[in-house]
Amino acid sequence: MSNVVKEPRTVVRKFLARPQHEGVGATVRRSIGRFELKYFDPFLVLDEFSVSAPSGFPDHPHRGFETVTYMLQGALTHEDFEGHKGTIEAGDLQWMTAGRGIVHSEMPAAQGTQKGLQLWINLSSKYKMIEPRYQEVTSKDITEAAKDGIKVRIIAGEALGIKSPIYTRTPTMYLDFTLNPGAQIQQPIPVSWNAFVYILEGEGIFGNSRSLPITAHNLLLLGGSGDGLEAWNKSSKSLRFILVGGEPLGEPVVQFGPFVMNSQEEIDQTIEDYENCTNGFEKAMHWKSESTTDFGY
Ligand code: FJE
Ligand code: FE
């Protein structure tokens, strides 16, 4: 393989994401966004979620960032206050730019356990109040490339010379790699970007070929300033992981649950807007999702 990476990044920190309760009866393995790793600029949250009906994430708001939901198993129905509704299944992607405001529900759409990843990407101050936007891609339309025992699904950014059509308001790369036993990769990452790996299945060696293998549900922060990632599957099973990178915003972050702004004043204003249904939350006034169980009392 040609040397596309001159200065490979090393793994500087490792976090095992343990299950915790979120939403209503749902379970998430949270890596970014937990106490020890509150923010990894521009990333606010990475949750590997697991949810079965009737549990889920009923009606809730967002402002000031993007949510990227990538399904691994089962199906999830989302429904928002503008009447936008759809179901995403295993391999499908929803890239939602909440901007000035979205109120929505995210609920199981199938029997059994629905699994996936949800990443929250911060927006720069100049884009926090933009109009909400969705980019939805079904599994068959996600570009895949394969070479030398490597398969990569290109959700955002570029790999093996192929580009994703997803527009990232905050410049972001998001790649889903599967490596057969014996395979290795070299993947460029812009030098100034923050980047991490999250392992979904199997075990892999990252950054240094002599380091110990790392297993599923671990998040690896990749050290700054290198120009790419090197990884190896020296095991006898397949290895699946995501590699995500983003251009840091370098701005102050004030978060109150699902609202992420730059100052406390903006958060206070957001709470007021949400309570009064103003400045982007107008349609929240008389809205309730169809999936919300109405017990009639
Ligand atoms: C949220 C609690 C929440 N991780 N992963 C508080 F659970 C949520 C929330 C989610 C979520 C939804 C999906 Cl589909 C997957 C998730 C948290 O909806 F937004 C706040 N504020
Ligand atoms: Fe949400």
Q: How confident is the model at residue 293 (pLDDT cuts 50, 70, 90)?
A: low
Please report where in the chains the tokens 């911060």 appear, as a residue.
Answer: 122
Q: Which two tokens stand for residue 274?
A: 């949400």
Tell me what pLDDT residue 2 has. Answer: 58
Q: Whose CA is nearest to atom 8 of ligand 1?
A: 23
Tell me what pLDDT residue 74 has. Answer: 98
Is 62 annotated as contributing to ligand binding? Answer: yes
Please tell me the distance from the alpha carbon of residue 111 to that of residue 108, in angstroms, as a whole number: 8
Give the pTM: 0.97
Q: Roughly how many angstroms between the first and final C-alpha of the chain, as a whole number? A: 65
For the segment 1-43, what is each residue's pLDDT rounded down to a tens digit?
557 999 999 999 999 999 999 999 999 999 999 999 999 999 9
Q: Residue 283: helix, strand or coil by DSSP?
A: helix
User: What residues are in contact with ligand 1 under a 6 Å CB criterion?
Assistant: 22-23, 28, 47, 49, 57, 60, 69, 76, 106, 118, 257-258
Can you give 29-76 as a three-state secondary structure string?
EECCCECCECCECCEEEEEEEEECCCCEEEEEEEECEEEEEEEEECEE
Tell me what pLDDT residue 296 has. Answer: 46
What integer is the mean pLDDT of 241-255? 98
| Ligand 2 center from residue 122 Cα (angstroms) | 14
Is 104 annotated as contributing to ligand binding? Answer: yes
Tell me what pLDDT residue 134 has. Answer: 98
